[in-house]
Amino acid sequence: MTTYSIPNSDCRMVVGVPSEDPELWAAYLAGALDTYRKFGVESALEFEEIRDGSSTSMFLVAISPDGEVVGGVRAQGPYAVADDSHALLEWDGCPGQADLYDMIADRIPEGVVEMKAAWVSDRCPDRKAITHSLARIPRIAVMSRLDARYVIATAGTDPVIKLWVSAGGVIASHIPTAPYPSAQYHATPIWWDRSDFVDDPAIAA
């Protein structure tokens, strides 16, 4: 099991696969469901659809010194076709879906992975440090382990968008935002390109 240190925190980041780490996966799901419910958007988690782990290639969790899972994120892909991307469902019936489809399809040959369901416990004193580390996960773990050049994720609030951009993400600015998972959000597609990154000395295995 691969473990990463989290700067400015006593927590650690652990990489898992649902079928190989079922207890860790269950803890990740429980935390994600609790967090999404607090914001009233648990439907976006699609809990029943993802709980068996079959759609998740790998996941990462932040674990506190006492062993509690206090945050995490999961990855889908690499995709075989653009239609596999969840982002397209978020733009269903919205302007920009066709352009988003083309962006994904053009990148499929070099590998596209999608990050979903990132969360951090609001009870964790190291919340800020964990949040920043989760934003950097695509380039330090997911791309290399899944041999994908690109990562796509969607963010629906300005603070999350700003965070992901600060971690190397690039907004697909020509794609109009989508009201997902509800009208109070403005889902925005963000891309990471593995070829743009250099080693990050702040995060060590």
Q: Please identify which residue in the block is written with the tokens 């659809």.
A: 49
pTM of the entire structure? 0.91
CB 59 within 8 A of CB 16: yes
Q: Rounded CA gap, 183 and 163, in Å?
A: 22
Q: Rounded CA gap, 168 and 142, in Å?
A: 14
> Would you list the DSSP string of 143-155?
HHHHT-SEEEEEE
Q: How high is the mean pLDDT of the chain?
A: 91
Residue 75 CB partners (closer than 8 Å, separation 6+)? 56, 57, 58, 59, 113, 114, 115, 116, 142, 146, 151
Beta-carbon count within 10 A of 126 CB: 20
Buried b (16+ CB within 10 A) or exposed e, 89-100: ebbeeeebbeeb
Mean pLDDT across 168-196 = 94
C-alpha to C-alpha distances, 18 to 15, 50, 77, 164, 203, nearest whole angstrom: 10, 10, 14, 25, 24
Domains along the sequence of the chain with CATH = 3-196 (3.40.630.30)
Phi-psi region of 61 (alpha: psi -120 to 50; beta: other; left: phi over 0): beta
**pLDDT in the model for residue 192:** 94
3-state secondary structure of 195: helix
Tell me how many degrees the CA angle 2-195-3 measures, rounded to the nearest 5. 10
Query: What tens digit of pLDDT does each residue of 13-58 get?
Result: 999 999 999 999 999 999 999 999 998 999 999 999 999 999 999 9
Tokens coding 108 = 């499929």
Query: What tens digit of pLDDT does each residue of 85-132 get?
Result: 999 999 999 999 999 999 999 999 999 999 999 999 998 999 999 999
Q: Rounded CA gap, 81 and 62, in Å?
A: 31
